[in-house]
Amino acid sequence: MRLHITNGDSAGGTLQQAFPEDSVLSWRDCLHDGPVPAGLPLDELSAVRAQFIADCGWASYEDALRDFRARDARLARFRDFEETVLWFEHDLYDQLQLIQILDWFNHSAGRPSVIQSSTYLGPMDAVQLAALFPARGPVTSEQLALASAAWEAFRSPDPRALEPFLAPHRALPFLAAALLRYCEEFPWLEDGLTRTQRTIAVLQAQGIADPRKLYSAFSRTEDPIWMGDASFYLILEGRLPKPTEWRWDATRQRFVARPA
């Protein structure tokens, strides 16, 4: 029996159909939102993430923590399976999950297989997912090292740590573009608005006011699509992103301190 790890319930449910004898674990965490503080092991970080989810009103703290604890426990039992296969796609949501999991394996002496998809896994049917399975490959030392370094940079309180990872790398070919999109969610140097906030302003100026229609229109501007509607509505409500001392210089693709 294998353990398949993927981004969420949509792809996870279809993977279960494609491989009914195997076990499927859906990671389910929008790491691009909320705190992901440095230096915490997975169990402590999961508690922080559960509190963030509760603060957003997406679940109670107890329910969120229980789900994370169950998820983390299944991951820790990966040696019970003949193979662990990671299924992740090219967008920001997935790439952050991928480097988190690869970092965990790097510190756990585990060597899973990985499928890095350039297309969305969620809309695929079981036949399409099964067709990707032969393309999996064992995770390399280079991939583990890059993922750990990028995960550490992502969790750093200084976002400038991300800048070295904005250049494409063959080991994780979708990571650079995903991290660049994350950087664009910091306030921009020109006007203090994030890329999402700038897009929302343009759409609202076009007369789109309904939140659901705004999200739909916003998603059509994103390639790849990475943000779910729950995160989008928090931005509309002014609850994300949190204030920061850093500004994103989109022209030079680097961070600078907020002007006085």
Q: Within this chain, do residues 96 and 7 fall inside the same structural domain, yes or no?
A: yes
- The tens digit of pLDDT for each residue in 41-77 reads 999 999 999 999 999 999 999 999 999 999 999 999 9
Report whether pLDDT(178) > 90: yes
pLDDT level of residue 81 (50, 70, 90 thresholds):
very high
Q: Within this chain, do residues 144 and 20 fall inside the same structural domain, yes or no?
A: yes
- Rounded percentage of the chain residues whose pLDDT exceeds 90: 97
What pLDDT, on a 0 to 100 scale, did the predictor assign at position 206?
97
Q: Within this chain, do residues 135 and 54 fall inside the same structural domain, yes or no?
A: yes
pLDDT level of residue 138 (50, 70, 90 thresholds):
very high
Judged on CB neighbours under 10 Å (0-12, 13-18, 19+), 136 is middle
pLDDT level of residue 186 (50, 70, 90 thresholds):
very high
Q: Look up residue 1 and give its two tokens.
A: 């029996």
CB 96 within 8 A of CB 125: no
Structural domain harbouring 55: 2-155
pTM over 0.85: yes
Collapsed DSSP state (helix, strand, coil) of residue 242? coil
Establish if 10 belongs to a structural domain. Answer: yes
**Which residues, in sequence order, are CB contacts of 12 under 8 Å at separation 6+?**
4, 6, 24, 25, 26
CA dist 110 and 104 (Å) reads 8
Q: Within this chain, do residues 50 and 113 fall inside the same structural domain, yes or no?
A: yes
pLDDT level of residue 34 (50, 70, 90 thresholds):
very high
Q: Within this chain, do residues 145 and 189 fall inside the same structural domain, yes or no?
A: no
CB 180 within 8 A of CB 166: yes
Q: What is the mean pLDDT of residues 155-170?
A: 97
- Rounded percentage of the chain residues whose pLDDT exceeds 70: 100
Q: Look up residue 244 and give its two tokens.
A: 């920061």
Establish if 170 belongs to a structural domain. Answer: no
CB 183 within 8 A of CB 248: yes
Total domains in the fold of the chain:
2
What pLDDT, on a 0 to 100 scale, did the predictor assign at position 91?
98
What pLDDT, on a 0 to 100 scale, did the predictor assign at position 242?
85
Indicate the residue among 136, 155, 174 that finishes a domain: 155
What is the average pLDDT score of the chain?
A: 97
Report whether pLDDT(11) > 80: yes
Indicate the residue among 109, 134, 155 that finishes a domain: 155
What pLDDT, on a 0 to 100 scale, did the predictor assign at position 259?
84
Judged on CB neighbours under 10 Å (0-12, 13-18, 19+), 41 is exposed
**Which residues, in sequence order, are CB contacts of 139 under 8 Å at separation 6+?**
86, 102, 105, 111, 112, 113, 114
Report whether pLDDT(173) > 80: yes
Q: Within this chain, do residues 130 and 31 fall inside the same structural domain, yes or no?
A: yes
Q: Within this chain, do residues 25 and 150 fall inside the same structural domain, yes or no?
A: yes
What pLDDT, on a 0 to 100 scale, did the predictor assign at position 260?
74
What pLDDT, on a 0 to 100 scale, did the predictor assign at position 39?
94
CB 189 within 8 A of CB 164: no
CA dist 146 and 141 (Å) reads 9
